[in-house]
Structure 1
Amino acid sequence: MLRKTGFVGFIICCLVLSCVVGCKKKKSTARTAFYYWKTTFTLDKTQSSLLKAAADNRLYLRFFDVAWNDTRKEVLPVGIITLKQNVREFRITPVIYITNKIFENLAVDQVTPLAQKVNQLVNDIAGQNHIPYQSIQIDCDWTIGTKNRYFAFLKAFKSLNKKSLEATIRLHQVKYADRTGVPPVDKGLLMFYNMGKISANLKQANSIYNAADAEKYVRYLPTYKLPLDIALPLFSWTIQIREGKVIQIYGKIGQKELADKTNFEQTAQPNIYKANKSFYLSGIYIRENDLLKLEILTQKQLNEAAGQVSRHLAHLEKRNIIYYELSTIAASALEAKDLEEVSAHF
């Protein structure tokens, strides 16, 4: 009887140990990185420290935009980056933003020449600044009407550039993938922000991220036909509202400006401010009684966003979690451990 009891006890111990080991959360293999989107590249001490400590110097650097010029009826590069410091220590992925309007106007036989010009400019910038790169990312909010020309551009660019090719993916392009198509690239980058409605309604949920709007899209992620990295927001903006209408959105008006009691007073809603007078703020006209709605994500909301999207993703080793973007005030307010906590969800 003792032998039987001992054997049963041994089996129970094994089961408990197995449960403990099996239930232990698997360590994240995700890698943190940052976007940098300004036209002049120079990092201050805080930004340099955060990039190194949180992201091991992984940086997605916008090289230039490509836009359609209505006057000249042609495609032109815009906002070509100027690098004010040595970047050899950074692990850089070039990013090119291409407006969808190009593919609304471009003839089919002009797609490959465009790919040649973009590839040449990328390599010129990389060569002049001693930037070796293994992958490149194209950012374009294509539509059903432009997908064929955009996808043809990606194929032509890939054949020329020979590096790993990534493309940004908006949430609506995941939900309606059967209509918008899946770009012919090696990997996608899901932009998990800018998902809500920008509205003069003061009770409208945060348009940068809110769980209710996100939930309309995340259930489509498991079946998406590309491996996905994730972009999360490290920025804020302020919506200027006048007489019940949205006037404009400003990235350069933040908590610091709105906290100035000589210009604004906080309303009963903590993120809504009212102008005390008419004045100019950094060249922006603010009229007396204008309402300014600050939208920003807290550390808690960042973790909520990461937790929500990570639950719906197919498994991917060494997924890149890219924060947009390094030069913002919101990024400077964070420490490496804060972002490590968020990235650990993946």
Structure 2
Amino acid sequence: MANISLCIRFYAITCLVLLTVCCGSCKKNSAASTAFYYWKQNFKPDETQTSLLKTSGSSKLYVRFFDIKWDAGTGHPYPEAIVRFNKSPSLQNIVPVIFITNQTFERLGKDGIDSLAVKSNTLIKKLAQKQGIVYQAIQIDCDWTLGTKESYFSFLKSLKHTSGKALESTIRLHQVKYQFKTGVPPVDRGVLMFYNMGKLSADLKAPNSIYNPKDAAAYIGSLPNYLLPLDIALPVFSWSLQIRDGKIIQVYGKIGRNELNNTANFKQTAQKDVYVATNSFFTVGIYIKAGDIFKLEESNKETLDEAAKQLAAHLNKKDKRTIIYYELGNLNLSAFKAADFKEISAYF
């Protein structure tokens, strides 16, 4: 009996060791790299953020250079929220990102597309040269529609020709599933935005709109057939929905768990992540009325683990891809460790 017991224990330990080795090997075999977005207008990463980039193994930073919106008064597109570099980027691999509203392409005539591409490229070069940034690619973030597809794709072709750089375009989940209807942008790579996949809802029982596996499952089965190589953008942010009289008043990224746990102003309900304002007051420049309900939606390490596992199951792990976390400028550093990002990226 003693010999049998020893054999069983030896077998169990051996299996555990083999499992650990296999899992470790699986993580090591990941071809994915880690990167972050920086979306704040004032580019000034602090020491903690800079340290996170180094310790997480991130060698690339996607910096939002400016937005492009439509000016109804002048009838022309214009750049807004142009980045101000209060600190020179320490990383050598910087990718400029431009956010363009869909309304811009709804209003822009065909004769204005080339001009917009030239002006966009000129502003990117000007901002980059001033900081000594040598970039190899440009990323465009635009949630195009069937009505703007032709104009947006024409803009991308023109920008590619004008800049001579590699081009990337953000891709939403529905644009993957219905690629032959929505079209595939003429770029070198796509960036799948694996968040904001549900509708914002005043229903307190509605699932997290930043990420929930049920909504994701309806789309990701189409990933293996998508016609562009894809990098992945994952959420590391939270927001609170301010609800009054059963309607969403506003969405605030500045009001998170720390603010809602302030018992002088809020009371947590029996339902998880739902709070009620106990009095009327101002916080971070926002007026809160007594009785307002705040529904907290956030992503954390557990959320990212679930999202990464679900998504990675539909992707070829042999493909080299970048996992980009949105975003460093407003990241709650108390909620994540550098090791967390290494572990999440390793799923891919």
TM-score higher than 0.5? yes
CA contact (8 A) 1:274 1:292 kept: yes
Could you tell me whether the CA contact under 8 Å between 1:170 and 1:192 is conserved in 2?
yes
Is the deviation greater in 79-88 or in 116-125?
Answer: 79-88
Instruction: Give the match for residue 13 of structure 1.
Output: none
1:224-250 Cα shifts (integer Å, max 9, x gaps)? 100000000010000001111111100
SS at match of 1:201: coil
Q: Shift in Å at residue 339 of structure 1?
A: 0.8
Q: Are 1:63 and 1:95, in contact at CA under 8 Å, matched by a contact in 2?
A: yes
Q: Which of 31, 34, 45 is the matching residue for 1:32? A: 34
1:129 maps to: 131
CA distance in 2, matches of 1:331, 1:31: 20
1:219 to 214, 217, 221: 221
- List alignment gaps of at least 5 residues for structure 2: 1-19
Match of 1:303, SS?
helix
**What is the number of equivalent residue pairs in this alignment?**
328
| 1:107 maps to 2:109 | yes
Residue 166 of structure 2, aligned match among 159, 164, 167: 164
Secondary structure at the aligned position of 2:34 is classed as strand
CA distance in 2, matches of 1:140, 1:30: 24
User: Which residue of structure 2 lines up, in the alignment, with residue 326 of structure 1?
Assistant: 328
Matched, 1:338 2:340: yes
Match of 1:202 among 201, 204, 211: 204
Describe the SS at the equivalent of 2:99.
strand
Q: Is the 8 A contact 1:46 1:332 kept in 2?
A: no
Structure 1: 5+ residue runs without aligned partners? 1-19
Which residue among 49, 52, 55 is the counterpart of 1:50? 52
Q: Which residue of 1 aligns with 2:157?
A: 155
Matches within 5 A, 1:250-261: 250-261=252-263
**What is the CA-CA distance between 1:304 and the residue it aligns to?**
0.6
Who is 1:228 aligned against?
Answer: 230
Q: Which residue of 1 aligns with 2:12?
A: none
Q: Would the alpha carbon gap of residues 49 and 113 (structure 1) be closer, same or farther in structure 2, given more than 3 Å must change? A: same
State whether residues 61 and 91 of structure 2, in contact with CA within 8 Å, keep that contact through their aligned partners in structure 1: no
Aligned to 2:314: 312
Distance 2:247 2:93 in 1: 44
Q: SS where residue 56 of structure 2 aligns? A: helix
| Cα offset, 1:54, TM superposition | 1.1
Residue type matched to 1:134 in 2?
Q
Question: Separation in 1 of the partners of 2:92 and 2:26?
Answer: 31
Alignment check: 8 A CA contact 2:30 2:317 kept: no
| % same residue | 54
State the secondary structure of the residue aligned to 2:120. helix
| 1:187-227 deviation line (CA, Å, top 9, x unaligned) | 00000000012111111000000000100110111111000
Report whether the alignment pairs 1:186 with 2:188: yes
- CA RMSD in angstroms, aligned pairs only: 1.8
- C-alpha displacement at 1:316, in angstroms? 5.1
